[in-house]
Amino acid sequence: MATDPIDPAVETAEQVRDRVLAAARHIPVEQLGTCDDCGFSPFADDTSTSRETAFAKIAARVRGTELAAKALA
């Protein structure tokens, strides 16, 4: 899991990178990817994660994935 939709703490890009690199030790790189967890439900129905937190987590996932891709290249 690159980001945790339940934890309100926003991961850093470096934390995401490290999680992707750890997964790459067990999953072939060509089969490895990151995506947003369905835990970011519609904000009008579920306010457990704020819109700002969800978008910050998504940004960290995108940047961390880029960092991991460079490290794995």
Model confidence pLDDT, tens digit, residues 20-35: 999 999 999 999 999 8
- pTM, entire model: 0.84
Residue at 8 is within a domain: no
CB 10 within 8 A of CB 57: yes
Residue at 42 is within a domain: yes
Q: What is the pLDDT along the chain (73 residues), one digit of tens a residue?
A: 788 887 889 999 999 999 999 999 999 999 999 987 666 665 566 667 788 888 999 999 999 999 999 999 9
Number of domains comprising the chain: 1
CA distance 55 to 51: 6
Residue at 2 is within a domain: no
Tokens coding 15 = 């934390």
Residue at 38 is within a domain: yes
Which residue range(s) make up the domain with 27?
13-72
